[in-house]
Amino acid sequence: MNVEAVKLKSRTPLLLAATIFSLLTVIPQQTHAAPGDLDTTFSQSGVKTLPLTPYRMDSYPVPIAVQSDGKIILGATACCQTGGDFFLIVRLASDGSLDGTFGVDGKAAVHIGRSDSFLRSLLVQGDGKIVAVGTAELPSVSFALARFTTNGALDNSFGPAGNGTLTTEFPISGEPFAAAIQPDQEIVVVGVGRESGHEVFALARYQTNGNPDTSFGSGGKVVSAPIGSSDSWAYAVALQADNKIVVAGGAYLGSSSGFALARYDSHGGLDSSFGLGANGTLISPIGTSAYGQGVAVQTDGKIVAAGSASTGGFALVRYDAAGKLDTSFGQMGKVTTNIGASSSTLEGVVVQPDGKIVAAGTAVFSGQNQLAVARFNSDGSLDNTFGLGGKATTAGCPGARAIAVQGDGRILVTWGASSSDFCLVRFLGDSADVVLTMSFDPGQVSTGTNLTYTIMVVNNGPESASSVVVLDMLPEGVTLVAASPTQGSCTGSNRVACALGTVGKGSSVTVKIVVRPTIAGVLTNTANVTSNTPDPNKIDNIISVNLMVAQSLRFLPWVVVGTLSVGFTLAVVATRKSKRRRGTSS
């Protein structure tokens, strides 16, 4: 199952023993929490059980997505209100409470097809509309999509019937498992179809109005030949920056199964520059049995596939952009980690902006299932700054179905707790509250003289901020003289970008930018700061300052022709010299 993709630790210095005792009695436990701990600001315990009354949930994947405003979208397959299973969408506020502005009491539902419809994936468009992807029976199993407006109503501008829904039939059958939205807002859906008696990768692409994109494959659909020796299944999808589509799942290779990947170009053809056989596909065995459940593309173009393997529960494989195993990752490109005492299975993966990899699934302890999360460094080793040795578990939910990382770095994991409840868990992630200030000197300046802007970046923690960049969009009417940071380097002239590297908790970096104004008037200088570490308070990441620049005066040479006595006054007259046009007087 693909997961869309896709910042609280504080340690107050205590000086006196009495103060220590006093503070320990009043400071909430969350103050001392670290990445991988349950977020007790979420439903008080970090675990929220959400009743679905009046509906009942079937045991199918529980997808999750996070809106840009921090609201949380959950999906499920529900039943018993329309005579068959149907899509159910629930929206929560960032604190986990139901959002009453969405649908009816925070819930919206739709039934598609003649019988049951099962929800598999959720997407949030750039305009905030929500796309639900799953199956419908027509009577054969088919791709089914529904789009909801931001208030939970079906979007009548979507789908050929103008009712907010659509279906796509494949030869024999087509069952979707994952979806993604391209930068142009077209929707890519991947799943399993049938070809020559085998299960195979199946894809479809839709325009923003829901119509098939006929430039993709055949009439907007692609059905690939089998990968491996027989059946292959597509469970996850990720989009590259060049619009190529990476699909991951599993395939048989003889009597064993392994991770299966395929890469398609923007028109739906297999990409011959990918895979060992230059045919756009590959299989990676891990033990006797393995399959991929998630896939992500890193900023450097490397591809991370994640799933489960018989050799050790959670399994990760990383490839370079050509599909070759990345030998700098784990053991020759592969990592296996068993989270539980006996076994564990992985359901979803997300790559953080700093390159760390977060995976979620189910672990078994003493015969009991628990929700499990593991975080890996970019080299594949477990991240010991997260949880206990890179792992975090909770018995509050009996497993995980999907994972998402919020804009503030906190990690959300979902599960269907029972036939009548959602289970949602939030863990703390890394965060760094980076603050930007700006001043200028001198306070009064005229054209032709130097002006210095001093920009300071302060990291209030609780973690280090990595890959910090200050961007200063210099105003028109100034010429850059110099830009110098106390660490890192600056480039550009009108657009000055300063790469400052890592700024530790409690540390600061100063950037001095010297300019020379060339025109009089008000100068407005705006700068902003970004970091690969999530920032829980972005309002102080941008700053603007205004300065009035005066026009400098140029005086003609003058000569002293005598000596002034006390009581006499000398008047100096400044004359502006201008060109006189013919036919005018000066």
Cβ atoms of 77 and 60 within 8 Å: the answer is: yes
- Both tokens of 130, joined, read 């929500």
Residue 73, in any domain of the structure: no
Q: Domain end: 396, 430, 464, which one?
A: 430
Convert the pLDDT of each residue in 179-201 to its tens digit: 999 999 999 999 999 877 889 99
pLDDT at 116: 86
Q: Domain end: 378, 399, 430, which one?
A: 430
Cβ atoms of 464 and 533 within 8 Å: the answer is: yes
pLDDT at 367: 86
- Both tokens of 145, joined, read 């999509």
Q: Are 475 and 424 in the same domain? A: no
If you search the block for the tokens 């999530």, which residue do you land on? Answer: 534
Residue 381, in any domain of the structure: yes
Q: How far is the C-alpha of 72 from the C-alpha of 538, rounded, in Å?
A: 19
Q: Are 387 and 446 in the same domain? A: no
Residues 6+ apart with CB under 8 A from 481: 450, 514, 515, 516
Residue 317, in any domain of the structure: no
- Both tokens of 235, joined, read 């469970």
CATH number of the domain that 451 lies in?
2.60.40.1530
What end-to-end distance do the CA atoms of the chain give, in Å? Answer: 81
Q: Are 546 and 436 in the same domain? A: yes
- Both tokens of 171, joined, read 């030869």
Q: Are 437 and 425 in the same domain? A: no
Q: Are 404 and 462 in the same domain? A: no
Q: How far is the C-alpha of 329 from the C-alpha of 377, rounded, in Å?
A: 10
pLDDT at 14: 31
Task: State the sign of the Cα–Cα–Cα–Cα dihedral 497, 500, 503, 506.
Answer: negative
Total domains, the chain: 2
* Residue 527 domain boundaries: 432-550
Q: How far is the C-alpha of 314 from the C-alpha of 373, rounded, in Å?
A: 10
CA atoms within 13 A on the CB side of 556: 8
Residue 537, in any domain of the structure: yes
Q: Are 440 and 511 in the same domain? A: yes
Convert the pLDDT of each residue in 547-556 to its tens digit: 999 998 665 4
pLDDT at 411: 95
Q: Is 461 exposed, middle or buried (0-12, 13-18, 19+ CB in 10 A)?
A: buried
Pairing of the two strands 542-550 and 445-446 = parallel
Q: Domain end: 430, 457, 484, which one?
A: 430
Residue 74, in any domain of the structure: no
Q: Are 408 and 518 in the same domain? A: no
Q: Using 50 as the pLDDT threshold, list the residues of the chain that sit under it.
A: 1-32, 556, 580-586
Residue 216, in any domain of the structure: no
- Both tokens of 48, joined, read 């929220």
Q: How far is the C-alpha of 266 from the C-alpha of 353, rounded, in Å?
A: 25
Q: Are 420 and 478 in the same domain? A: no
- Both tokens of 565, joined, read 């006595």
Pairing of the two strands 465-473 and 521-530 = antiparallel
Q: Are 545 and 438 in the same domain? A: yes
Cβ atoms of 63 and 411 within 8 Å: the answer is: no
pLDDT at 419: 66
Q: Are 400 and 508 in the same domain? A: no
Cβ atoms of 244 and 188 within 8 Å: the answer is: no
pLDDT at 54: 76
pLDDT at 90: 94
Q: Are 466 and 539 in the same domain? A: yes
Q: Are 450 and 501 in the same domain? A: yes
Residue 220, in any domain of the structure: no
